[in-house]
Structure 1
């Protein structure tokens, strides 16, 4: 099998937790797609929004929220949507005409002054934290350091800029917090100030300490419907490519928007076309392909390449072919054990190449070798 000669016990990852990794945007997109801060409308997740409104109406809103789910699902969009709603609560306060009807949506439009303040990062009662950029290397750190988390307690104990107003902290990539970082949250979660809210955005809720998790309300985000994603892609992606992009996105609008970018689509099409000759491969063409996309500076393309081939391997395990002839042929010929072996082998190969900083041309060539049977 591929790479059997590599020692499985070598310690390639010892430095990973405290080291640096290349930046991978949470919701990469096209030039006309706003950032989560500036996204006015939310696609899907009606259940999450309804739950948040119910807790507000009941007067039992928590001081800690956990938004969990895969990247690109809309967790950050919901966090800023909720933030704008809470900051604009005076619009819904009782007045001389009585008490307004309970809100049925968290929507606050771009015309509202609060929208601009949140979008521009100028609202004094909002603190956003995440993995900082290392000034020496220009790369995003692998975790949210304790120094960042220690900013939360003094911020939340400050007096809000508006009388009786909220102070809100959003922590992105919260699942990368070290144990020290998470422990520093406990004091503020155990004795939270009035109208202070902590929103933890995480891909893996299980990475949070039980003591942190138990003091928050967990709201998992489910994959979006394929039809909803396809509608967003209309007019942005060639109609013939939408089924592939939607299938690979697996319910993530963020991933769909990234895969729909012209430069990524071209690379994905080329990579998948080599499977048309499976179980053999055109190695000369693949080597030329690796020379183009395996060079330094192609980090985004290399990441999308990895995700593309892992999608092929995972589709085999699930027995899905998406009406693609070569994928149907592979599914028909390979047994479950072989499919699992391909996925494990491919995943291990990518880990070694990425975290071992190996030649990315070798990464591309070796990835196709994993599918040889």
Structure 2
């Protein structure tokens, strides 16, 4: 009976939505009913949230439902904020994207590591040693992230990154926690400020992101925010999420991530030229940009291609995506706590992420108006 009442209320709410929101809601509901999505979706355009929905269970053991304002681990979306801090310093003249670690972090690693540039770190082409490849325990957690009760200081966190490089700088793309741990060390040295304080001072406080926090590397099992679940429904293996640092240790609400996205697309955090640099994907590297991927997409029901900036991640039992369409001033944010979630590929014209984007962009009441392009907000 409760399930039927819940379905009827959901159907009534969808009937009262604008066309685009109702279409998005249909995609979300079908994915949930197929067992492929439990979580929260938010779509924002201009200064308004046009769709927000929480569906399924945040904790399957305790039978606790998802809520729109709950806190999530942002996983590798954290890298987008790190990239902004770097570009801010580039605009100030204290860093250069083509400057090397020998300049900004002298004494770190060998001569080969010293030749790595900030651009290569941001694009994951540094060739640094990768802590994800350390021996794993019986639950599949690499030793670097193991929740062993031991607090790690900055020196211990960076130690694996200073080992023998895997490849020459710029040779190939490989996602690597070390890239952003090292970037955070560069930012701290140049600004003489700890990374959490930089985030608070230059991003969180100015934008009113009150939920944003960086998990510390304290050797404790991850229990902040929503709990991830395996494909079979069991809780994810415990790990120390703080060990991801600038590469994946942020957590907060979807509304605060929307505040960040909106400020980024309004050029409040960095200038339009700097944003364009961040959002230029390299086809040779699978369209890797700085802290994200950037490419042109053609959703099924859109009349023209759109430029997409995409950051997705999966760690443990959490699946997350932050997708921006700057020319439409639109952001699509979706977090799921089941490993059964498969976003698919937008370029293939199908899959959950394509269908969400298609509904968000290509439905009549979200088509771009005929007005003049939006201007830059006062910084």
TM-score category (smaller protein): under 0.3
- TM-score, normalised by the number of residues in structure 1: 0.28
- TM-score, normalised by the number of residues in structure 2: 0.28
